Structure 1
Amino acid sequence: MAVNDRPRPIVGKVALVTGAARGIGRAIALRLARDGADVCLVDLSAESCEAVRAEVVVFGGRATAVGADVSNRDDVFGAVEHAVRELGGLDIMVNNAGIAMVETIADVRPEAVDRLWQININGVLWGIQAAAAAFIELGRPGKIINASSIAGHDGFPMLGCYSASKFAVRGLTQAAAREFADKQITVNAYCPGVVGTDMWVDIDRRFAELTGAPVGATYDKFVSGIALGRAQTPDDVAGYVSYLAGPDSDYMTGQAGLIDGGLVFR
């Protein structure tokens, strides 16, 4: 199907995506643009999003980019204000930015945990706050979509603190869904599994350092457990986020859906 022949369920909507310069965030931003949204691309620097912004323009959408550190509340609120000012509003907030950490519970140190919490938990919290405030001020319903993980459903060895951060995202998602329901704001999460991105390259390398396994062995082991027989792509995740961003999910809130090809079952 040609791009111009695709269903465009969110034409006229404005979406903000954090961590949009690469990987899953990039795929989400491009998918939402194909679906008709104007997109505000957020990453540590606006320049890092320039290639993605240019791709969005090819689809006929509008795009703007802004640099922000999601661990900084003022930065996140500033990014939302930028989207409203430059694109005329906000309808969809995708709190995608996050980092991984592979370390044993016995050896993890405060500075590493603090950084993980600041980005993976606080970054989502500030995004929820900023988006909800914007939706309410604009007087319109909205959709908040948060990045959790299969590690937010199961705890994995050497991913204990990362798992804890993603369990926290599920808790924030559920609580925010209840708190903002009367404002017609839905809050859901997506839970990827083994995605072929730079993050998983780093995870695999760190597992090799800790376990002595050959580089690539941990990745292959996880992939071998996927029922559908392959690692997922960023586009697989983006397709599910597209559903959460569109009208077909209007009656869904507080959920954290697994999109992992059949690795963790609930």
Structure 2
Amino acid sequence: MSSKGVVLVTGAAQGIGRSIALRLADDGFNVAVNDILNNSEKLDALVSEIQEKGRTSSKYVADVSQDEQVKTMVDDVVARHGSLDVMVANAGIAGILAPLTENNWDRVMNINARGTFLCYKYAGIQMIKQGRGGRIIGASSMAGKQGHAMGGTYCASKFAVRGLTQAAGF
């Protein structure tokens, strides 16, 4: 079965990421999926579900806030599937109602903002190398448009994703 291309979806083991991965498989893409080690079994189930749809799929356990892990993940997706045509930087944590401490700030910003940046960076490098462009998508939320009480860190991280995405489009 021909494919529309290869997609990598981060934070794909559950929730919105899982739904995105399944929809893209339905739309004719081969789908590589990522999440953290704690969600490895959920990734295995997702890979099987995507393969049952007649698409190629593979899993990548990596922390998107870690530069070398993201680089290796993108390289491995390309080695396995032959290209990377769409990056969906979806991985994130809420941090809503968490106390506004330096530790919570660093954790949420590292995963939500830095993780998105690293996914954009390595997907962009690969897509330029391929010479045919691609699509890079970042998951934000309404919290990326308006601040909320008790959600300062989360809102700041989603505003960062929104700003980075807009700037990357130029």
TM-score (norm 2): 0.94
Larger radius of gyration: 1
Does the 8 A contact of 1:69 with 1:76 survive in 2? yes
Distance in 2 (alpha carbons) for counterparts of 1:11 and 1:86:
15
For residue 53 of structure 2, what is the aligned residue in structure 1?
59
Which structure exhibits the higher relative contact order, with contacts defined as CA atoms closer than 8 Å and separated by 6 or more residues?
2
Deviation at 1:75, TM superposition (A): 0.7
For residue 139 of structure 1, what is the aligned residue in structure 2?
131
Distance in 2 (alpha carbons) for counterparts of 1:58 and 1:69:
27
Distance in 1 (alpha carbons) for counterparts of 2:79 and 2:24:
19
Aligned length: 167
Corresponding position: 1:153 with 2:139: no
Distance in 1 (alpha carbons) for counterparts of 2:35 and 2:54:
22
Distance in 1 (alpha carbons) for counterparts of 2:70 and 2:21:
17
Letter in 1 for 2:75: E
Which runs of structure 1 show a deviation greater than 6 angstroms over 4 or more consecutive aligned residues?
Answer: none
TM-score (norm 1): 0.61
Residue 75 of structure 1: SS of its match in structure 2? helix
Distance in 1 (alpha carbons) for counterparts of 2:150 and 2:71:
33
Deviation at 1:47, TM superposition (A): 4.0
Does the 8 A contact of 2:100 with 2:152 survive in 1? no
For residue 49 of structure 1, what is the aligned residue in structure 2?
43
Does the 8 A contact of 1:11 with 1:35 survive in 2? no
Structure 2 counterparts to residues 95-106 of structure 1, below 5 A: 95-103=89-97
Distance in 2 (alpha carbons) for counterparts of 1:164 and 1:144:
21
Identity %: 46
Distance in 1 (alpha carbons) for counterparts of 2:116 and 2:4:
25
Task: Select 1:92's aligned residue among 63, 70, 86.
Answer: 86
For residue 81 of structure 1, what is the aligned residue in structure 2?
75
For residue 32 of structure 2, what is the aligned residue in structure 1?
40
The gaps in structure 2 that reach 5 residues or longer are none
For residue 115 of structure 2, what is the aligned residue in structure 1?
123
Distance in 2 (alpha carbons) for counterparts of 1:22 and 1:103:
21
Distance in 2 (alpha carbons) for counterparts of 1:47 and 1:72:
21
Letter in 1 for 2:92: G
Query: What whole-Å deviation, never above 9, does each CA across 1:21-40 have from its counterpart, x for those lacking one?
Result: 11111110010001010011
Residue 70 of structure 1: SS of its match in structure 2? coil
Distance in 2 (alpha carbons) for counterparts of 1:25 and 1:12:
19
Distance in 1 (alpha carbons) for counterparts of 2:81 and 2:96:
38
Distance in 2 (alpha carbons) for counterparts of 1:11 and 1:99:
31
